[in-house]
Amino acid sequence: MSDYIVTDDNGAPEAVIDMDRITDAGTKLAFRLAAERDEDKRMAITAQVMTEVGSAGFGYVAACAMQVLARDLLHPVLEVADAGGIHLRPGIEAIAEGRDPMAANR
């Protein structure tokens, strides 16, 4: 178990966070979203998880899910694409920097 105590600006305890629970919920959310093809169903999955973990904990779960999506799902796909000569990263980098992704791929 990996519990962390969240404190306020004065150091008084506000909450206890169970990182194992957050990591588990975030990992499941990431893979459920990645596996689902239907946008409405992805929204339903997100709403279900938000209901299960509560609005106070959902930000932590969503942050974990983003890490899992980037590290465990997107990164390997981009590696395969790069190896096959399909260069998706310039477009992704352009969007991250607020530039036109279509201009990056020309």
CA angle 10, 15, 16 (to 5 degrees): 125
Which tokens go with 20?
Answer: 């194992």
74/86 Cα distance (integer angstroms)? 14
In this prediction, residues 71-83 reach a mean pLDDT of 97
Residue whose pair of structure tokens reads 């980037």 in the numeric block: 70
Residue whose pair of structure tokens reads 């959902």 in the numeric block: 58
Q: Is the pTM of this model over 0.85?
A: no
Total number of domains constituting the chain? 1
For residue range 33-52, list pLDDT tens digits in order.
Answer: 999 999 999 999 999 999 99
Instruction: Judge whether residue 15 has pLDDT over 90.
Output: no
Binned at pLDDT 50, 70 and 90, residue 18 comes out as confident
- Relative to beta strand 3-7, strand 13-18 is antiparallel
Beta-bridge partner residues of 3:
18
Amino acid at residue number 99: R
Q: What is the pLDDT of residue 1?
A: 61
- Domain of residue 63: give its range: 3-104
